[in-house]
């Protein structure tokens, strides 16, 4: 397959759906978690749930990096942005994420200099052209985006750009999956593994899921046929009484990952002792921070931040959605008080958020309403 259309072929999708039905054991229910928010959007954008038998249920995981950032970290970043002479830079999907003291857009409207960038190199360029200002990059994301942050820090150090720093919020996926597996709230039969993260870390780090917990995992691509094939591979493992890590996304993911990317992350960053995740609480060794050698580019060391833990709004149930305990439409404020235009929680803001996927693609109830045909 070389073209996108081939990954969206309806005939092949129906064939896979038939094979999936054949693999389902009569009377048995299956629950699979798609860890990555990108998979959630593929599922609902293309109506993949309608191809699956009722015995197969898909739930969402904590794989949206914007969604798992706690409100207190947003407040810390805003506190830095309000400092005289500071330019805060951020990816676009962070601009509307609500903290306890409002969002980046609110702070910008109140006078803070907060700018949207497409990469950390854009932030470095702003620092280069504004030598009298301090430029801070709000670094978020899993291992997928950490290499670009690390490379930018190395470039800043090499060029002697001392007015550039990083407010590091990079998180790691493996501890989050382990926290899900250890949670009494969830009973899963397998995982649709995050394809983008796996391009960096590879498939080997997931082996404990199959070995210690007896749950199969399939690293999956992001086209409709990728997701359906991954579900088929999970069901086939269960039918054959196997529990293994398999790689469906072979056109991109290598078993050992991207060693160069992992090396540059290790050179610039190290694991934090613990980090707070929205919905999952504090998880040990689940996030990255700058190494001491690059303290000159570490915003957390250069600025005092409040560091106050902020509870989510009582009406918001993003935490339960991120753990796969609730479907978005089960949240009390979904689609009413909480919409993409007026988000209460992070899951409605991000382009990878589960609530945004459900809202944008019309999944407001347990069953999908049949479309009305017009003659």
Identify the CATH number of the domain in which residue 110 sits: 3.40.50.11740
Q: Determine the pLDDT at residue 371.
A: 41
221-255 pLDDT, tens digit per residue, is: 999 999 999 999 999 999 999 999 999 999 999 99
Range 93-125 burial, b when 16+ CB lie within 10 A, else e: bbbbbbbbbebbebbbeeebbbbebeebbebbb
Tell me how many domains the chain contains.
1
Q: Determine the pLDDT at residue 313.
A: 81
Residue-range definition of the domain harbouring residue 238: 1-374
In sequence order, what are the residues at sequence separation of 6 or more whose Cβ sits closer than 8 angstroms to the Cβ of residue 82? Answer: 107, 112
CA distance 263 to 260: 5
Residue 217 has pLDDT above 80, yes or no: yes
Q: Determine the pLDDT at residue 164.
A: 98
In sequence order, what are the residues at sequence separation of 6 or more whose Cβ sits closer than 8 angstroms to the Cβ of residue 307? Answer: 72, 76
Q: What is the pTM of this model?
A: 0.90
CA distance 120 to 150: 9
Mean pLDDT of the chain: 92
Residue 367 has pLDDT above 60, yes or no: no
Residue 366 has pLDDT above 70, yes or no: no
């Amino acid at each position: 397959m070389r073209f996108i259309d081939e990954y969206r072929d309806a005939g092949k999708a129906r064939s896979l759906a038939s094979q999936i039905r054949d693999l389902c054991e009569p009377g048995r229910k299956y629950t699979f978690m798609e860890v990555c928010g990108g998979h959630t959007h593929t599922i609902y954008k293309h109506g993949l749930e309608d191809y699956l038998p009722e015995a197969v249920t898909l739930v969402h995981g904590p794989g949206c990096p914007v969604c798992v950032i706690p409100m207190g970290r947003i407040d810390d970043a805003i506190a830095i942005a309000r400092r005289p002479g500071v330019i805060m830079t951020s990816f676009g999907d962070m601009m509307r994420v609500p903290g306890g003291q409002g969002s980046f857009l609110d702070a910008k409207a109140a006078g803070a200099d907060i700018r949207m960038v497409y990469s950390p190199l854009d932030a470095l360029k702003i620092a280069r052209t504004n030598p009298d200002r301090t430029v801070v990059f709000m670094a978020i994301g899993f291992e997928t985006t950490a290499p670009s942050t690390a490379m930018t820090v190395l470039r800043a150090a090499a060029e002697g750009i001392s007015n550039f720093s990083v407010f590091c919020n990079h998180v790691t996926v493996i501890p989050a999956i382990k926290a899900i597996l250890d949670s009494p709230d969830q009973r899963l039969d397998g995982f649709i593994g995050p394809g983008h993260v796996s391009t960096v870390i590879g498939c080997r780090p997931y082996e404990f899921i199959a070995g210690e917990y007896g749950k199969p995992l399939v690293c999956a691509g992001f086209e409709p046929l990728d997701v359906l094939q991954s579900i088929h591979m999970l069901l086939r493992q269960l039918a054959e009484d196997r529990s293994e890590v398999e790689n469906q996304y072979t056109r991109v993911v290598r078993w050992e990952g991207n060693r160069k990317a992992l090396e540059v992350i290790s050179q610039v960053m190290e694991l934090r002792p613990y980090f707070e995740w929205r919905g999952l609480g504090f998880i040990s060794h689940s996030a990255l921070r700058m190494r001491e050698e690059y303290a000159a580019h570490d915003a957390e060391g250069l600025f005092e931040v409040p560091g106050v833990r902020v509870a989510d709004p009582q009406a918001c149930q993003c935490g339960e959605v991120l753990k796969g305990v609730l479907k978005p439409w089960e949240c009390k404020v979904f689609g009413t008080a909480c919409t993409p235009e007026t988000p209460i929680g992070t899951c409605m803001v991000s382009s990878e958020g589960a609530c945004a996927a459900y809202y944008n693609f019309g999944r407001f109830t347990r069953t999908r309403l049949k479309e009305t045909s017009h003659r």
